[in-house]
């Protein structure tokens, strides 16, 4: 091996490039930038301001932070629902006045002052919510106007009652404690903000209403179509924001024991900047309470820091303006380009040197030499079918196959011209097998393992396995269940081809060529699913050996067949039986003479084999070329191979014309005939096998005469 | 249809304005006098000029919340430079360059970075105010140097009518001609009605957007010069006052839909007339300023609700994130 190639092998097989793409798919990566800014801001001002970290100073600044954070949490929830609330400053001021007025002028107890603040916030929020939610006005402008109205009302109230408040002698220990006291070193606003953040976070991520809010923010129309009461949900977000601002207003009322013209001034742009700088998306659907909190800390540390460092009037506005503009621009650009970045970096090819295959050229004299026998196959369902990946026949000779539309179609014996939709499963039903009781079990691409009873009821058997400890991406989910077979004891062995790509992106997996395919077993006795083997390059067909003591499975992109032992001295281990085949291996099924049929979904080409030794080239290809120009495995020619338990190749069948069965993904022998499926074909082939047992059926071979 | 069908916001507002005018003329002493009528027009001239700039932006489906900040801060900076002894030409050149730069930055972020106009201009308003206030001027209010042309402009009267009335009339005519008779003026409507379609047929939608924001900044500067002329100083605290919302009020209430593509100079004039008459009547009635603010904002809310009911948002074509 030349050293250049050795270097490439080391570089692409040892450095886990694929993790970058997987990490980028995580929603929490959005938090990375705000978090770095947070650390930088605190470090900067913490060192520039003497005594920044001393406990008393922290206690005082966090008191203000608590109030501010409560307002930001409310605004965050509104933004998650796709709206915006600029009136928070007015609500805050009015609520402050409500509690101060109740306490000092009316002489009400503290709890009544608190309720007055909450009621003010809820009422104001309800007005906003009605206008924006039910009347569907534009949120920004509407809350801007209600903000001015609220401010005008507040100014009038302060002028009228300001003197009366200052003259009052009302006092209360509870009021003072909320304003000045601490509990275990924490001030009341900080505790309140912490509790609110926790409750809001849990509600947003776990509760029904939280999901509704995120759904409405993510896509209003889809949420409506899904039956969510969009208008009411939007309404509630504004009420919540009003309540938050109300509570914050009460806290500052206790702290300052008064309300003046400056109360809540400029709060709207502070809160908005905080929410956006923290990484909450404008327009909704993406964001979290944590983001809001990070933004609140950044903005408050920054603005207070600038004041404490003695910068003059206006510096704050300047910095806030820049922060808002930069944060919004980054947010918009990131949202717009995120999927492009992800597309660019997700495919991370690895190095593989395939072994030299024996030729499959016609008349080459090798056991693999292709011929034109399949050109003689008759067709079933020509033009009616789309994507019969696997086919199977039941005890009454009826023929079943899955389709691209998520259906299982049944063709009636004996001539297979009439058909019906046997069951609608969804996804893309791939591998099929009958169990002892005549239930049809299917590996449904993108969904999982499903059972269709003879009365057509569809039951999900398994959609997940145990997550592996080192996985970045959730690999518990079955992304591409491909084929299955059933052991004599009823356990279902099946493959999940890749952890990295969804079922319809299987071609991308072939270009990446990373070994993430698995062999799993589902146990019907306790409903558990276990991963038996992992790390194969696209595990595909599965077939029980005739004696039921081992099974064969195909590893498509490596062009190999492995044998996995269920019992005997090698139980639980796998060994490679056939390697370096000239075609990409697919489904395997039993043949009547004690051997096995195996499909080739396509043939290897020297060019693609070479490209597998050049991962850098494939990486460049996926980044720079449109997908139509990519080099893919050849799937325009396939075939069928027959092999025996010793791994010897007995026969091959091909369609050199490329007209009937260019690609083959499955074949079933039944009463002397071979039924042929292909995932990209529009027909099922029917081929009479010379010398085959005309009475042999798969059902009897598996489950005896009883079935 | 008939009578009700022919009712639209413009006609309703016009009728209300006429009704208030008639009632005020009959009941309020000193309302229907030549001096007071001039005062009404004068009081809305600056507002009207700003509203013309805003109207061109809103018709093109945008909004400019930085107008008041640009108006106050650019003129304050200009006056400060004059006060520091800089030559008039250099100071004016610098101030204009700053104004164009802000308009350009607004337009660029809206057109090319595709950030919603509301956020861009909200941020730039804060930035402009903060930058000028903290770095470029010394105090909140900057006086006009005595004998300077800005001061003379403010004192100028033509047939007893202050000059800003003529400026307003002239700019209104210019805006009318631009929107109605020039190619790029017509394009504003197409771009406001359906930006994607306008772009597909080959209009330079993005450069036009930038141009509009530059225009509105220049209009704001002109309005600032007139304000400074009549008050003999520029008080930058106006940035924190509700004047911005008065501009939106004048623009929207006459019937220019915020969704864009609708309205014209006539709507601005009608809106300005209503607000001018109302403010004047309230002042004669001696309603305190605080209550005037409340009444104005309540009317603005009513106008927005009305606009929302008349031009409901189309859920099928409304873009996600269009807030």
- The count of CB pairs under 8 A between chains A and B is 153
Do B316 and A221 count as a contact with CB atoms less than 8 A apart? yes
pLDDT of residue B214: 95
CB distance B294–A221 less than 8 Å?
Answer: no
Tell me the nearest-neighbour CA distance from A221 into chain B, angstroms: 7
Residue B3: the pLDDT is 53
**Residue ranges of the alpha helices (H) in A481-554?**
506-512
Q: Name the residue among A276, A271, A233, A229 with its Cα closest to residue A81.
A: A233
Residues of A whose CB is below 8 A from B127: 317-318, 320-322, 325
The residue extents of the domains of chain B are 16-310
- Kindly report the average pLDDT of chain B as a whole number: 84
Q: Judging by beta carbons within 10 Å of its beta carbon (0-12, 13-18, 19+), is residue A31 exposed, middle or buried?
A: middle
Confidence (pLDDT) at B32: 81
Give the whole-number percent of chain B exceeding pLDDT 90. Answer: 25
3-state secondary structure of A2: coil
| Residues A411 and A276 placed together within one structural domain of the fold | no
- Cα–Cα–Cα angle for A699, A702, A704, nearest 5°? 80
Query: Which of these ranges, A10-19, A428-437, A487-496, A698-707, has the smallest mean pLDDT?
Result: A698-707
Residue A76 phi, psi dihedral angles, 5° rounding:
-60, -45
Q: Per the domain annotation, does A98 fall within a domain?
A: yes
What pLDDT band is residue B317 in, cutting at 50, 70 and 90?
A: low
Q: What is the mean pLDDT of chain A?
A: 89
Judged by DSSP in three states, A266 sits in: coil
Rounded CA separation A384/A365 (Å): 38
The pLDDT score that the predictor gives to residue A211 is 93
Q: Which of B126, B245, B305 sits opposite A148 (nearest CB)?
A: B245
Q: B197 and chain A: CB distance < 8 Å anywhere?
A: no
Q: What's the angle, vertex CA A79, arms to CA A78 and CA A82, rounded to 5? A: 95
Helix (H, G, I), strand (E, B) or coil at A214: helix
pLDDT tier for residue B253 given thresholds of 50, 70 and 90 = confident
pLDDT (0 to 100) of residue A671: 93
Could you read off the pLDDT of B33-47 as tens digits, one per residue?
Answer: 888 888 888 888 888
SS3 at position A547: coil
Please say if the pLDDT value at position B1 is more than 50: no
A276 and A324 in contact (C-beta within 8 Å)? yes
Q: Which of A252, A275, A296 is the last residue of a domain?
A: A296
Cα distances from B136 to residues A251, A315, A612, B60, B79, in angstroms, run 37, 11, 63, 33, 11
What pLDDT score was predicted for residue B320?
47
Please report the pLDDT score of residue A669 as a whole number. Answer: 95
pLDDT for B322 equals: 56
**A149 close contact with B: CB closer than 8 A:** yes
Give the tens place of pLDDT for each residue, A547-585.
999 999 999 999 999 999 999 999 999 999 999 999 999
Q: Which residues of A touch B70 (CB under 8 A)?
A: none
Q: Do A152 and B294 make contact, defined as CB atoms within 8 angstroms?
A: yes
Q: Helix, strand or coil for residue A410?
A: strand
* Residues A3, B32: Cα–Cα separation, whole Å: 98
DSSP string, B82-112: HHTT--HHHHHHHHHHHHHHHHHHHHHHHHT
Q: Hey, what are B234's tokens?
A: 């520029």
Domain-ending residue, one of A274, A296, A318: A296
> Rounded to whole angstroms, how far apart are CA atoms B323 and B314?
13
Q: Which of A242-246, A487-491, A570-574, B110-114 has the lowest mean pLDDT?
A: B110-114
Residue pair A493/A551 in contact (Cβ under 8 Å)? The answer is yes
| Residue A533: CATH number of its domain | 2.120.10.30
- What residues of chain B, 227 to 246, have a C-beta less than 8 Å from chain A? 240, 242, 245
Inside any domain, residue A515: yes
The DSSP output letter for A178 is H
Domain residues for the domain of A569 are 373-463+477-501+509-703
Give the span between the Cα atoms of A583 and A150, in whole angstroms.
Answer: 74
Q: What is the dihedral sign for C-alpha A480, A644, A579, A544?
A: positive
Band (A463; pLDDT cuts 50, 70, 90) = very high
Residue listed under structure tokens 């591998």: A431
Given this model, what pLDDT does residue A498 score? 93
Lowest mean pLDDT among A343-347, A573-577, A675-679: A343-347
- State the average pLDDT over residues A168-196: 80
pLDDT tier for residue B319 given thresholds of 50, 70 and 90: low
Q: Does A72 touch chain B (CB under 8 A)?
A: no
**Least confident segment among A114-128, A289-303, A315-329, B203-217:** A315-329
Same domain, A543 and A689: yes
- Which strands make up the sheet holding A378-380, listed edge to edge? A378-380, A684-688, A673-677, A666-670
Note whether A131 contacts B305, CB cutoff 8 Å: yes
Contact yes or no for A328 and B245 at CB 8 A? no
Q: How confident is the model at residue A307 (pLDDT cuts 50, 70, 90)?
A: confident
How many degrees, rounded to 5, is the angle at CA A149 between CA A146 and CA A154?
Answer: 125
Adjacent-strand bridge partners of A492: A486, A522
Q: Are residues A397 and A495 in the same domain?
A: yes
Least confident range of A213-222, B146-155, B207-216 = B146-155
Candidates A81, A131, A136, A140: best to mutate against B (most CBs of B within 10 A) is: A140
**Is the minimum CB–CB distance between B180 and chain A shorter than 8 Å?**
no
**Nearest C-alpha neighbor of A210 from the set A226, A192, A228, A193:** A228
Residue A423's pLDDT is: 94
Going from the C-alpha of B54 to that of each of A138, A421, B119, B173, B234, the distances in angstroms are 18, 62, 16, 15, 21
pLDDT tens figures, A35-72? 888 888 888 888 887 777 777 777 777 788 888 999 99
Share of chain A above pLDDT 70, in %: 100
Q: How confident is the model at residue A389 (pLDDT cuts 50, 70, 90)?
A: very high
Write the residue in B130, B300, B313 that is nearest to A317 by C-beta.
B130
pLDDT higher than threshold 90 for residue A141: no
Cross-chain residue pair A149–B297, CB shorter than 8 Å: yes
Among candidates A84, A135, A322 on the partner chain, residue whose Cβ is nearest the Cβ of B308: A135
- Could you tell me if A78 and A185 lie in one domain? yes
Residue scoring higher pLDDT (B109 or A285): B109
pLDDT digits (tens, 9 = 90+) for B77-106: 999 998 888 888 888 999 999 999 999 999
Residue A544: in which H helix or E strand, if any?
strand A539-544
**Has residue B211 got a pLDDT over 60?**
yes
Q: Give domain status of residue A518, yes or no.
A: yes
Q: What pLDDT shows up at residue A648? A: 93
Residue A604 half-sphere exposure toward CB, CA atoms < 13 A:
26
pLDDT for the residue numbered A186: 78
Whether A335 maps to a domain, the answer reads no
Q: What is the ipTM of this complex?
A: 0.84
> How many structural domains is chain A composed of?
2
Q: What is the tens place of the pLDDT at every residue in B54-69?
A: 999 999 888 888 999 9
CA of A67 vs chain B CAs: smallest distance (Å): 23
d(CA A507, CA B180) in angstroms, rounded, equals 56
- Three-class SS of residue A349? coil
Most confident of A71-75, A252-256, A654-658: A71-75
Q: Is the pLDDT of residue A294 over 70?
A: yes
Average pLDDT of the residues in B289-314: 79
Spatial CB neighbours of A563, under 8 Å, sequence gap ≥ 6: A545, A550, A551, A552, A574, A575, A576, A577
**Predicted pLDDT of residue B221:** 94
For B123, the token pair is: 């941020």
* Mean pLDDT across A15-33: 83
Q: Determine contact: B290 vs chain A, CB below 8 A.
A: yes
- Asked if residue A639 has pLDDT above 50, the reply is yes
Cβ atoms of A89 and A79 within 8 Å: the answer is no
CA distances from B66 to A353, A695, B50, B264 (A): 63, 86, 11, 21
- Which pTM value belongs to this model? 0.75
């Amino acid at each position: 091996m030349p050293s250049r190639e050795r270097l490439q092998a080391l570089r692409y097989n040892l450095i886990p490039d694929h993790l970058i793409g997987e990490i980028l798919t995580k929603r929490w990566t959005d938090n990375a930038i705000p978090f770095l800014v947070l650390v930088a801001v605190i470090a900067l001002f913490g060192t520039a301001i003497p005594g920044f970290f001393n406990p008393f100073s922290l206690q005082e600044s966090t008191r203000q932070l608590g109030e501010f954070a409560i307002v930001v949490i409310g605004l965050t929830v509104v933004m998650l629902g796709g709206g915006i609330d600029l009136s928070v400053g007015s609500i805050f001021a009015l609520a402050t006045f409500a509690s101060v007025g109740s306490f000092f002028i009316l002489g009400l107890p503290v709890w009544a002052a608190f309720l007055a603040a909450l009621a003010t916030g809820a009422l104001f929020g309800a007005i906003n919510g009605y206008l924006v939610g039910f009347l569907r006005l534009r949120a920004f402008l509407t809350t801007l106007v209600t903000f001015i109205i609220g401010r005008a009302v507040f100014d009038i109230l302060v002028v009228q009652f300001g003197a009366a408040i200052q003259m009052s002698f009302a006092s209360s220990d509870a009021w003072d404690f909320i304003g000045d006291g601490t509990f275990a070193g924490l001030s009341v606003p900080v505790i309140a903000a912490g509790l609110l953040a926790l409750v809001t976070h849990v509600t947003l991520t776990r509760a029904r209403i939280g999901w509704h809010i995120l759904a409405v923010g993510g896509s209003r129309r889809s949420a409506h179509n899904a039956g969510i009461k969009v208008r009411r949900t939007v309404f509630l977000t504004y009420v919540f924001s009003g309540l938050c601002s109300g509570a914050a207003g009460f806290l500052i009322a206790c702290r300052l024991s008064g309300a003046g013209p400056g109360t809540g001034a400029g709060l709207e742009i502070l809160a908005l900047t905080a929410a956006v700088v923290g990484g909450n998306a404008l327009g909704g659907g993406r964001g979290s309470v944590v983001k809001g909190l990070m933004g609140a800390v950044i903005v408050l540390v920054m603005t207070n820091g600038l004041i404490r460092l003695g910068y003059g009037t206006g510096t704050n506005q300047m910095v806030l303006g820049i922060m808002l503009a930069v944060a919004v621009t980054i947010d918009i650009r990131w949202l717009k380009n995120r999927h492009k970045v992800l597309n660019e970096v997700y495919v991370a090819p690895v190095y593989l040197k395939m072994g030299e295959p024996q030729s499959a050229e016609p008349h080459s004299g090798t056991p693999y030499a292709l011929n034109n026998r399949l050109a003689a196959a008759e067709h079933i369902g020509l033009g009616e079918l789309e994507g019969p990946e696997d086919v199977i026949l039941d005890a009454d000779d009826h023929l079943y196959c899955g389709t691209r539309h998520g259906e299982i179609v049944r063709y009636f014996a004996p001539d297979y011209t009439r058909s019906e939709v046997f069951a609608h499963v969804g996804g893309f039903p791939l591998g099929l097998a009958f169990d002892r009781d005549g239930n049809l079990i299917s590996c449904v691409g993108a969904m999982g393992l499903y059972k269709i009873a003879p009365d057509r009821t569809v039951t999900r058997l398994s959609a997940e396995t145990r997550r592996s400890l080192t996985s970045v991406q959730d690999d518990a989910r079955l992304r591409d269940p491909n084929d299955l077979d059933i052991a004599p004891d009823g356990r279902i062995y099946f493959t999940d081809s890749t952890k990295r790509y969804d079922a319809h992106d299987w071609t991308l997996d072939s270009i990446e060529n990373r070994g993430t395919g698995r062999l799993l077993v589902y146990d019907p006795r306790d409903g558990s699913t276990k991963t038996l083997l992992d790390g194969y390059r696209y595990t595909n067909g599965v077939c029980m050996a005739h004696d039921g003591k081992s099974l064969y499975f195909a590893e498509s992109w490596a062009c190999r067949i492995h044998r996995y032992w269920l019992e005997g001295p090698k139980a639980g281990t796998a060994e490679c039986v056939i390697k370096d085949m000239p075609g990409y291996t697919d489904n395997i099924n039993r043949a009547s003479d004690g051997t096995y049929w195996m499909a080739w979904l396509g043939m290897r080409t020297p060019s693609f084999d070479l490209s597998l030794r050049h991962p850098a080239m494939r990486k460049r290809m996926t980044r720079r070329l449109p997908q139509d120009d990519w080099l893919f495995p050849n799937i325009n020619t396939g075939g069928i191979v027959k092999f025996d338990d010793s791994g010897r190749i007995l026969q091959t069948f091909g369609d050199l014309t490329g007209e009937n069965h260019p690609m083959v993904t499955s074949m079933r022998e039944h009463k002397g005939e071979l039924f042929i499926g292909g995932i990209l074909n529009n027909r099922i082939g029917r081929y009479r096998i010379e010398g085959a047992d005309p009475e042999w059926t798969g059902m009897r071979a598996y489950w005896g005469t009883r079935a | 249809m008939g009578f009700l069908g022919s009712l639209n916001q413009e006609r309703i507002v016009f009728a209300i304005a006429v009704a208030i005018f008639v009632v005020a003329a009959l009941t309020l002493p000193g309302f229907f006098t030549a001096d007071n009528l001039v005062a009404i027009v004068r009081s809305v001239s600056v507002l009207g000029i700003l509203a013309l700039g805003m109207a061109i932006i809103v018709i093109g489906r945008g909004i400019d919340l930085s107008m008041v900040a640009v108006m106050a801060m650019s003129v304050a900076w200009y006056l400060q430079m004059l006060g520091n002894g800089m030559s008039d030409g250099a100071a004016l050149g610098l101030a204009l360059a700053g104004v164009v730069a802000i308009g350009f930055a607004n337009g660029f972020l809206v057109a090319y970075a595709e950030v919603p106009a509301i956020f861009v201009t909200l941020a730039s308003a804060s930035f402009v105010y903060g930058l000028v206030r903290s770095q470029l001027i010394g105090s909140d209010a900057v006086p006009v140097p005595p004998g300077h042309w800005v001061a003379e402009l403010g004192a100028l009267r033509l047939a007893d009518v202050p000059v800003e009335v003529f400026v307003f009339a002239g700019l209104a005519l210019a805006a009318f001609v631009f929107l109605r008779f020039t190619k790029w003026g017509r394009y504003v409507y197409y771009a406001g009605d359906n930006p994607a379609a306008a772009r597909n047929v080959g209009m330079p939608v993005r450069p036009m957007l930038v141009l509009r924001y530059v225009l509105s900044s220049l209009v704001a500067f002109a309005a600032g010069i007139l304000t400074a002329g009549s008050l003999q100083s520029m008080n930058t605290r106006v940035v924190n006052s509700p004047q911005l919302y008065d501009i939106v009020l004048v623009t929207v209430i006459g019937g220019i839909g915020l969704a864009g593509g609708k309205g014209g100079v006539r709507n601005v004039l009608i809106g300005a007339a209503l607000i001018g008459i109302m403010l004047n009547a309230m002042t004669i009635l001696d309603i305190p300023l605080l209550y005037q603010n409340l009444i104005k904002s309540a009317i603005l809310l009513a106008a927005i609700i009305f606009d929302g009911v008349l031009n409901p948002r189309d859920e099928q074509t409304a873009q996600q994130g269009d807030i």
